[in-house]
């Protein structure tokens, strides 16, 4: 499915990625929990949608206290998700379709039930003691934490262990103790798991909270800051700058070490995408000065971008500045941790189509979160009903504040964006035959795959035709990006040109995205062989001399290879 290697850009730079939260995608064995055989059954759908790379959230052995982000065995599959045979079949089947598969590696921490931690906490003399970060408490009694470091969720990240009378460090929740990467045995063991899954044929790894891997050896207090609430673009907060716990220089150096391991697995190359937080310029450092670090990092600034032409252009400009060739940015509008994107555009389908058009035509790797392609909504589930451990932690927060934070892109109950995939209008949305682990969204009766399949104006068909267009166009996959600053184009229209190749083999796509609620006339230069695609209808017509761009409409004018309909 991924076009041949005649292009100069590596496959992972040209690909389109789809995130599956396995627990919520499809339940094959009717226990209400999504599983690997369920994903296998839906590969036809994913292939017909046109996504090229699948990223699966973790499905390894785990007590599921954070639904898989607390691994107790990196070499085993949690039985509720399937077997090792299912896992291998999935890798095989994905490859048989010309697609790629990415697993989620939680390198930073394990579950507290991982045998390493069980041994580590059993005694100060355990050979595994130093696999985790243990410190004495502050004197005189040792009953207060070793320093002021706060976890990523606020509050001290230190946890007291009564038996051995020391504190262990956890960047996220207490049941997810951080591994000690300053211990060479730990590093070697975790690199072993990375090698293991790459040897099994996995094409890439998504790295969970990669920005937290190394903590400063000084264990000095983090400096005070007035900043209360961290964000995607600035992870400092809870009244401190997390200089000793986040983005440590040793973590950035480790990115290069990890890259070298991944590069051992040559042809085709594998890739790493890091979960890190900060402004694009800071995050770029993880990719290495010589592009020898992580291949990609998530850029979450898009999650918060205002729906306005000027804001979007400013953001893309900033991203382009920070990730020039040979670097490649990512475009992410939703995940299993954030409010669903449809929620942020107020359920407006045209706006959703416009953002999808941006995401799939701008220079970079798009990450589509499952259900985004049909416009799935957040499900308003009160904190006290949340199964999410983060919801439990913030149970005291009043619901009005939950709503305010959600508007700012912060989700305290992540169940809201993890509800079952909506396949059809059935009782359980075609996800399962029994009651699912999380409630199905009430809108599933009208918002579902089956209802949108045959509707050419649906969001699903818009994604499908955009993805098809991208596969045909080398300009959209690997072209340069230049702004089109036509004199009469208002600031609400974001316009850019993607271009690949030269002379007769030049492939070109001009993109015009109308973020305003007005119709805007476009003067197009009329050349033979150009075709125009509108995200409204999904079809392609010979490009006219002038075009009236409807409110929130996006069009792509193609010339060269990509202009010929398949």
User: What burial class does residue 152 get, using C-beta atoms within 10 Å of its C-beta: 0-12 exposed, 13-18 middle, 19+ buried?
Assistant: buried
Q: Residue 33 interacts with Ca ion (CB under 5 A)?
A: yes
**Binding partner of residue 336 among Ca ion, ligand NOJ, none, CB cut-off 5 to 8 Å per kind:** ligand NOJ
CB burial string 505-528: b at 16+ within 10 A, e below: eebbbbbbbbbeeeebebebeeee
Residue 283 near residue 299, CB atoms below 8 Å = yes
Number of residues located near ligand NOJ, criterion CB under 6 A: 9
Contact status: 416 vs ligand NOJ (CB under 6 A): no
Per partner kind, with CB cut-offs from 5 to 8 A, the member of ligand NOJ, Ca ion, none near residue 106 is: ligand NOJ
Which C-beta is closer to Ca ion: that of 87 or that of 360?
A: 87
Q: E strand or H helix at 394, and its extent?
A: none
Q: How many residues does the chain have?
A: 566
Pick between residue 85 and residue 455 the one whose CB is nearest to Ca ion: 85
Q: Which stretch binds Ca ion (CB under 5 A): 30-38, 229-237, 253-261, 334-342?
A: 30-38
**Omega within 30 of 0 (cis) for the link into 326:** yes
Q: Which stretch binds Ca ion (CB under 5 A): 29-37, 84-92, 201-209, 520-528?
A: 29-37
Q: At what angle do helices 459-472 and 349-361 cross, to 10 degrees?
A: 10
Distance CA 565, CA 531 (A): 9
Residue 27 binding: pick among Ca ion, ligand NOJ, none (C-beta 5-8 Å cut-off by kind): Ca ion
Binding partner at 112 among Ca ion, ligand NOJ, none, C-beta below 5 to 8 Å by kind: none
Instruction: Name residues contacting ligand NOJ, limited to 329-358 (CB under 6 A).
Output: 336-337
Among 19-27, 241-249, 283-291, 457-465, the segment contacting Ca ion (CB under 5 A): 19-27
Q: Pick between residue 27 and residue 61 the one whose CB is nearest to Ca ion.
A: 27
CB 541 within 8 A of CB 509: no
Residue 27 contacts Ca ion per CB under 5 A: yes
**Binding at 33: pick from Ca ion, ligand NOJ, none (beta carbon under 5-8 Å per type):** Ca ion
| 32 closest CA partner among 471, 433, 505, 528 | 433
From the CB of 393, what's the least distance to ligand NOJ, in Å? 11
Our finding on whether 106 is near ligand NOJ (CB under 6 A) is yes
Q: Structure tokens of 174?
A: 């207490």
Give the one residue of 172, 286, 377, 533 binding ligand NOJ; rule: CB under 6 A. Answer: 172
d(CA 535, CA 469): 11
What does 52 interact with, of ligand NOJ, Ca ion, none (CB < 5 to 8 A by kind)?
Answer: none
**Pick 208 or 416: Cβ nearer ligand NOJ:** 208
Q: In the window 367-406, what residues touch Ca ion (CB under 5 A)?
A: none
Residue 182 CB, shortest distance to ligand NOJ, in Å, is 20
Choose the one of Ca ion, ligand NOJ, none that binds residue 209, judging by a C-beta under 5 to 8 angstroms depending on kind: ligand NOJ
Of 61, 66, 350, 415, the one binding ligand NOJ (CB under 6 A) is 66
Q: Does 29 bind Ca ion (CB under 5 A)?
A: yes
Please identify, using beta-carbon distances, which residue of 31 and 216 lies nearer to Ca ion.
Answer: 31
- Among left, alpha and beta (phi > 0; psi -120 to 50; other), residue 85 is alpha
Q: Which residue is nearest to Ca ion (CB)?
A: 35
Q: Which two tokens stand for residue 109?
A: 């921490």
**Which of Ca ion, ligand NOJ, none binds 337 (CB below 5-8 Å, type-dependent)?**
ligand NOJ
- For ligand NOJ, which residue has the nearest CB? 69
Burial of 397 per CB tally in 10 Å (0-12, 13-18, 19+): middle
d(CA 36, CA 19): 14
Which of Ca ion, ligand NOJ, none sits in contact with 66, Cβ below 5 to 8 A by type? ligand NOJ
Residue nearer to ligand NOJ on the CB measure, 113 or 349: 113
As a whole number of angstroms, the distance between CA 431 and CA 253 comes to: 43
Given Ca ion, ligand NOJ, none, residue 167, with its beta carbon under 5 to 8 Å by kind, binds none
Alpha carbon distance 352, 552 (integer Å)? 9
- Told to check if 472 binds Ca ion by CB under 5 A, we report no
Considering only CA atoms, which of 344, 446, 440, 447 is closest in space to residue 24? 440
Nearer to Ca ion, 80 or 247 (CB): 80
Provide the β-strand partners of residue 138. Answer: 144
DSSP string for 208-249: TTGGGS---TT-PPPPB-S--S--SS---BTTB--TTTSS-H
| Positions marked catalytic | 208, 264
Q: How far is the CB of 106 from ligand NOJ (least distance, A)?
A: 6
Residue 69 as a binder of ligand NOJ (CB under 6 A): the answer is yes
Locate the DSSP E strands across 136-276. 158-161, 166-169, 204-207, 271-274
For residue 418, the minimal CB distance to Ca ion (Å) is 15
Does the protein bind Ca ion through residue 86 (CB under 5 A)? no
CB of 72 to ligand NOJ, least distance (A): 13
Q: Are residues 147 and 79 in contact, defined by beta-carbon separation less than 8 angstroms?
A: no
Nearer to ligand NOJ, 337 or 559 (CB): 337
In 3-state terms, what secondary structure has residue 283? helix
Q: Can you tell me the distance from the alpha carbon of 121 to that of 128, in angstroms, rounded to the nearest whole number?
A: 8
Rounded CA separation 511/498 (Å): 8
What gap in Å lies between CA 465 and CA 414, rounded to an integer? Answer: 30
Query: Stretches 34-42, 106-114, 225-233, 435-443: which one binds Ca ion (CB under 5 A)?
Result: 34-42
Six token digits for residue 78: 């949690």
Nearer to ligand NOJ, 66 or 373 (CB): 66
Q: Which is nearer to ligand NOJ, 80 or 275 (CB)?
A: 275
Q: In the complex, which residues of this chain contact ligand NOJ (CB under 6 A)?
A: 66, 69, 106, 172, 208-209, 275, 336-337
Where do contacts with Ca ion occur on this chain (CB under 5 A)?
27, 29, 31, 33, 35
């Amino acid at each position: 499915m991924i076009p041949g290697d005649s292009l100069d850009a590596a496959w992972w730079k040209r690909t389109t990625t789809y995130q599956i939260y396995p627990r919520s995608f499809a339940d094959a064995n009717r226990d209400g929990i999504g599983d690997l055989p369920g994903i296998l059954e839906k590969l036809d759908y994913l292939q017909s949608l046109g996504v090229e790379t699948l990223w699966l959230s973790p499905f390894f052995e785990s007590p599921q206290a954070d639904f898989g982000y607390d691994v107790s065995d990196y070499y085993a599959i949690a039985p509720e998700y399937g077997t090792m045979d299912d896992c291998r079949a999935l890798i095989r089947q994905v490859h048989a379709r010309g697609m790629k598969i990415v697993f989620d590696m939680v390198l930073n921490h394990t579950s507290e039930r991982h045998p390493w931690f069980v041994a580590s906490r059993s005694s100060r003399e355990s050979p595994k003691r130093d696999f985790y970060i243990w410190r004495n408490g502050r004197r005189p009694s040792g009953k207060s934490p070793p320093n002021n470091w706060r976890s990523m969720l606020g509050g001290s990240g230190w946890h007291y262990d009564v038996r051995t009378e020391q504190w262990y460090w956890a960047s996220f929740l207490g049941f997810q103790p951080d591994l000690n990467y300053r211990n060479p045995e730990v590093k070697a063991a975790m690199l072993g798991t990375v090698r293991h899954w790459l040897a099994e044929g996995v094409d890439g790894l998504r790295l969970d909270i990669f920005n937290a891997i190394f903590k400063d050896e000084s264990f000095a207090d983090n400096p005070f800051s007035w900043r209360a609430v961290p964000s995607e673009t600035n992870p400092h907060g809870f009244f401190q700058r997390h200089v000793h716990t986040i983005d440590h220089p040793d973590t950035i150096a480790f990115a290069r070490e990890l890259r070298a391991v991944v590069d051992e697995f040559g042809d085709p190359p594998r890739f790493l995408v890091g979960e890190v937080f900060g402004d694009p310029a800071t995050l770029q450092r993880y990719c290495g000065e010589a592009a020898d670090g992580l291949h990609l990092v998530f850029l979450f600034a898009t999650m918060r971008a205002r729906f306005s032409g000027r804001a979007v252009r400013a953001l893309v400009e900033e991203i382009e500045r920070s990730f020039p060739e040979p670097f490649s940015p990512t475009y992410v509008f939703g995940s299993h941790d954030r409010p669903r994107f449809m929620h942020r555009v107020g359920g407006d389908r045209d706006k959703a189509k416009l953002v999808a058009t941006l995401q799939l035509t701008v220079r970079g790797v798009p990450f589509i979160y499952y259900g985004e392609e049909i416009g799935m909504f957040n499900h308003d589930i009160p904190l006290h009903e949340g199964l999410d451990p983060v919801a439990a932690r913030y149970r005291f927060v009043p619901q009005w504040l939950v709503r305010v934070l959600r508007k700012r892109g912060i989700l305290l109950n992540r169940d809201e964006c993890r509800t079952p995939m909506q396949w059809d209008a059935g009782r359980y949305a075609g996800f399962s035959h029994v009651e699912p682990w999380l409630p199905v969204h009430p809108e599933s009766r009208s918002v579902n795959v089956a209802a949108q399949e045959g509707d050419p104006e649906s969001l699903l068909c818009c994604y499908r035709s955009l993805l098809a267009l991208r596969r045909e166009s080398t300009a959209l996959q690997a072209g340069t990006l230049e702004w089109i600053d036509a004199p009469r184009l208002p600031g609400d229209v974001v316009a850019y040109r993607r271009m690949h190749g030269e002379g007769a083999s030049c492939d070109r796509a001009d993109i015009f995205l109308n973020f305003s609620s007005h119709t805007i006339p476009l003067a197009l230069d009329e050349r033979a062989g150009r075709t125009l695609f509108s995200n409204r209808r999904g079809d392609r017509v010979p490009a006219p001399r002038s075009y009236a761009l409807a409110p929130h409409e996006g069009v792509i004018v193609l010339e060269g290879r990509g202009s010929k309909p398949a």
